[in-house]
Amino acid sequence: MSETRTFLLEIGTEEIPAAYLEPGVDGLSLGIKGILKSQGVVFDEVRSCFTPRRLTLFISEVAVRSEEKLGERQGPPTKVAKDDKGSWTVQAKRFAESQGVGESDLFIKENDKGSYVAVKVKTGGEETRNIFVLRLPELLVKIPFTRNMKWPQSNKTDFARPIRWICCLFGDEVVEFEYAGLKSSNLSYGHRFAHPEAITVNNPKEYVDKLRKVMVIVDPAERRKLIVAELRKSAKSLGGILVEDGDLVDEVTNLVEYPNVLCCDLGGFMDLPREVLQTALAKHQRAFVVEKGGKLVPHFLVVTNSPKLDPDLAKPWFERMAISRLEDADFFIKEDLDKGLKPLIREEARVEWIKGIGTLADKTTWLTELGLFLGKGIKGFDTKTCERAAHLAKADLLTNLVREKEFTSLQGIAGGIYSQKLGESEAICSAIADQYSDTPRSVEGAVLGIADRFLNISATFVAGKPPKGSSDPFALRRQATAIMKILTDQRIHITITSAVEKVLGLFGKEEKGQIADFLRDREVLFFKDKGFSFDWVDAVAAVAADDPYDAYLRLSAFAELDKGEEFRLVAVGQKRVANITTRNTHTSQPDTSLFQQLEEKVLWREAERIKPEVQSAVKSKNYKRALECLLSIRPAIDKFFDEVFVMVEDERIRENRLNLLSSVKEEFLKVADFSQILVEGGP
C-alpha cells in the first residue's frame, strides 16, 4: 500500500457572515474532491469545519503520489506518419518528441476510424504536494460566496472577507503557495480576544486540540453541543427551562469561536405578548428566553464570543439594548391598538399587492371567497369564523409593529394578538395567527393558510415570475410544500385543479396549466421526502395527484401492505398486463363467448368478482381493502400468462384477450398505475 498523509487547509479571515460559512466550506470540500479525483489521487474522507474567522478542511489518508496508469496516445494517420519506404516521417517524429518518447516507441494502431500511429505513455505518479501547490489558488477563487470584498493587500483578489493567514500542511510538511498577497505556512491563530497570538501547527492531527487550548472550538457540531448544554445549565440556575430555538442556536453557533453564556435581567415588559418579547430578544440580540410553569421568567440568556468577559461589565450593556428594543415594541403595540384594525383594512385599497394583479384589498376579498370555496364540505369548518378571519387577516401588514424590520416575522401572529385584544373570538384570532404556519391549530386556520398560498403561487405565475432553476425569490416551492403538509396533516381533501381554476376565475385571468403542474410536481417531491418509495409515489401520482390527501391515503395503504414476495409478484403480473396492453386502444368489454381457455374464464370471473368491492373501497377511501382485493386475483393473472398466448393470429381472439387484460388493468388503475413500480428480480 502506498504512503498516505493527512492534509489540512485553514483559511483565516476577518469575521465571515454566519450565512456564508456552510456554503463556503461545502464549496471548498466539493472543489478539493474534484481536484484530487481528476488527478488520480487516492484519499479517504474529506471533513470540513468552520468558525466565523476560519474555513478548514481535513482530508485523511491522502496518497503522497497520484496513481500511475499506462495508456495510449493517438498520433497522425499512418499515411502521414510513414513514407513510401515505410520509414517514420517528420510528423511522426515530432509526435514522438511531443510525447517524450523515441521513434522506437511508436507503433501502428488500427481502430474503427482507420490506421494511426500511437504510443504508450505513463500518466500519474506526480507528487500530491505539487498538485496542491498548483491547484489550491484556483480552488480558493471559486468558493461560492454570495458577495465578496476586495482589500488593498489582496493583489486584486476578492473573498467573502479579508484573508489574514493561510495554514496548509500535508502531513508535517508545509504546502507552500501564495494567495491574496499571503504565503501559506504552518501558523494559525487563537481566539481574537482570549489568545490573539500565533501558534505553530506541526501536524494536521494536532490542529483541533491546539486550537481548543487557545479558546477556539473549530468543529461547529462540538460548538453547538456546548452552547445548548450551557444554555440549559444557565436556564436551570434561573429556576426554569430553556425555550428551545434550533434556528437561533444554529445562527449563534456560526457567530462564535468559543461560547460564553451570560444571564441578564429583563426588568419590566413582562406584560408584552410572549411572541413579541421572544422575537424582540431573538432578532435584535440573538438572545434566548427561559420559562417556568409555562410563563417566561424576567431574564434572558445571550451567547457571547468572549470567554474571558467580565459579566458585571457586560450585563448592563445587553440589558440596556434589550430594554431599548422592548420599549419600541411596547410603543408600536399601543399605537396600533389605539388605531385599531378597521382603518388599516380601508387602507389596504391603497397598497399594491402584486403589480398587474391587484391591491392588498383585492387579495383580502379573494382570500375570503377562496377560503369559503375550499372549506365547503370540510368536516367541522365554520364559515363565519373563516370569513371574519380572512377579512382581518392582512390588516396587520400595515401595523407599526410588523412594518418594523425586527418584527416582520410576526405577521399573522401580530394580527391574532391585536384581534384578541380588540374583542374577536378565540377561533378567529387563532386562524389569523396560524395563516403563515404549516402546523395550524384549527381547520379554519388551515384553510386560510392554504388559500393564501394558492393565491400567492398563482398570482406570481400569472405575473410571469415563476421559480427558475435554483432561483425562487418568492419562496413558491416552500409555499407549495406547506400546502401539501397542511392537507395531509389536517386530512383535508382539496383538488389542485379546482383550487387553481377558482383562483384564476377570481383574478379574471387565464393560464395554460403551469400552476397545477408545478403544484403536482411539488406534491411528488413532498411524498418522496416523507420516505415513501419513489416508484410508489410515481404510481399513485399517475392516477391521483390532483388530491394530495387522497394520494397520501393510497401511499399509506401501499406502505402497510408491502410485505415482500406477495406484493412483488402481483406487481410483476400487473406490469405484464400494463406492458402488453400499452398500445391497446380497445375499451369494450371482452366477449365471453370468444373465450377458448379455462384461464380466460377464470380471470374474467375473478375480475368481475372484485370489481364492486374495489369500487366500493375506493369510494370510501379504504385503499388497503382495495389493494387486498387486487392482490387476491394474482394467481388468476399468473395462470393466464402461463397458459394463454395473447397475440394470436386470429384478430377477434387477440382483441378479445387484450380487452380482457385492459379490463383487469382498469381495476388496478383505480388505485395506482402499477406499471410505474420497479420490482427487483422481476421479468
Nearest C-alpha neighbor of 34 from the set 46, 20, 16, 22: 46
- Using alpha carbons only, give the angle 410, 414, 417 rounded to the nearest 5 degrees: 140
Reported as a single tens digit per residue, the pLDDT across 26-45 is 999 999 999 999 888 889 99
The residue-averaged pLDDT of 88-111 equals 81
Helices (H), 254-310: 274-285
CA distance 432 to 440: 10
pLDDT at 681: 46
End-to-end CA separation in angstroms for the chain: 43
In 3-state terms, the chain is what percent helix, strand and coil (to 5)? 55, 15, 30
As a whole number, the mean pLDDT across the chain is 87
- What phi and psi, each to the nearest 5 degrees, are found at residue 134? -80, -35
Cβ within 8 Å of residue 614, ≥6 positions away: 626, 629, 630, 667, 670, 671
Nearest C-alpha neighbor of 477 from the set 524, 434, 532: 524
Helices (H), 152-287: 207-213, 220-237, 246-253, 274-285
Cβ within 8 Å of residue 536, ≥6 positions away: 555, 558, 559, 672, 677
Reported as a single tens digit per residue, the pLDDT across 486-497 is 999 999 999 999
Sort strands 198-200 and 187-189 into parallel, antiparallel or unpaired: antiparallel
pLDDT band at residue 672, thresholds of 50, 70 and 90? confident
Here the cell at position 256 is 462564535
Nearest C-alpha neighbor of 641 from the set 597, 587, 586, 588: 597
Burial class (CB in 10 A: 0-12, 13-18, 19+), 9: buried
Indicate the range of 231-240, 566-575, 598-607 predicted with least confidence: 566-575
pLDDT at 564: 60
Indicate the range of 283-297, 481-495, 529-543, 581-595 predicted with least confidence: 581-595
Does the pLDDT value for residue 572 go beyond 70?
no
The residue-averaged pLDDT of 591-596 equals 80
- What phi and psi, each to the nearest 5 degrees, are found at residue 26? -65, -45
Here the cell at position 486 is 397542511
Indicate the SS3 state at residue 298: strand
Does the pLDDT value for residue 680 go beyond 60?
no
Contact 92, 86 (CB under 8 A): no
CA distance 586 to 344: 62
**CA 325 to chain centroid:** 34
Residue 641 region by backbone torsions, left for phi larger than 0, else alpha for psi between -120 and 50, else beta: alpha
The residue-averaged pLDDT of 405-421 equals 87
CA distance 406 to 264: 21
pLDDT at 81: 79
The residue-averaged pLDDT of 135-141 equals 91
pLDDT band at residue 597, thresholds of 50, 70 and 90? confident
Cβ within 8 Å of residue 83, ≥6 positions away: 89
Here the cell at position 458 is 398563482
Which is more confidently placed, 189 or 293?
A: 189
Sort strands 295-304 and 260-265 into parallel, antiparallel or unpaired: antiparallel
- What phi and psi, each to the nearest 5 degrees, are found at residue 655? -65, -35
Q: Does domain 552-676 have CATH number 1.10.730.10?
A: yes
Indicate the range of 114-118, 228-232, 288-292, 537-541 predicted with least confidence: 114-118
Cβ within 8 Å of residue 110, ≥6 positions away: none
Give the single-character DSSP code of 508: T
Task: Write the secondary structure of 62-126 as one string of H (helix), E (strand) and C (coil).
Answer: EECECCCEEEEEEEEEHHHHECCCCCECHHHHHHHHHCCCCHHHCEEEEECCEEEEEEEEEECCC
CA distance 37 to 617: 55
Here the cell at position 196 is 490573539
**CA 50 to chain centroid:** 22
pLDDT at 406: 73
**CATH level 3 topology of 346-530:** Hypothetical protein af1432 (1.10.3210)
- What phi and psi, each to the nearest 5 degrees, are found at residue 412? 85, -60
For the chain, what's the residue count?
Answer: 683
pLDDT band at residue 571, thresholds of 50, 70 and 90? low
Print burial letters for 86-122: b (CB count within 10 Å at least 16), e (below 16). Answer: eebeeebeebbeebeeeeeebeeeeeeeeebbbbeee
Does the pLDDT value for residue 233 go beyond 50?
yes
pLDDT band at residue 682, thresholds of 50, 70 and 90? very low
**What is the DSSP track for 140-151?**
HHT---SS-EE-
Specify the amino acid at residue 213: K
CA distance 409 to 418: 15
Indicate the range of 147-151, 247-251, 442-446, 627-631 predicted with least confidence: 627-631
Does the pLDDT value for residue 645 go beyond 50?
yes
Contact 217, 257 (CB under 8 A): yes
Does the pLDDT value for residue 644 go beyond 90?
no
pLDDT at 579: 62
Reported as a single tens digit per residue, the pLDDT across 348-397 is 989 989 888 999 999 999 999 999 999 988 888 999 999 999 999 999 89
Which is more confidently placed, 678 or 197?
A: 197
pLDDT at 218: 96
Does the pLDDT value for residue 142 go beyond 70?
yes
Does the pLDDT value for residue 562 go beyond 80?
no
Q: What whole-number percentage of the chain has pLDDT above 70?
A: 95
CA distance 428 to 419: 8
pLDDT at 50: 95
Here the cell at position 38 is 481528476
pLDDT at 493: 92
Contact 264, 253 (CB under 8 A): no
Domain positions in the chain: 4-65+127-213, 69-123, 220-315, 346-530, 552-676
CA distance 249 to 247: 5
Which is more confidently placed, 647 or 227?
A: 227
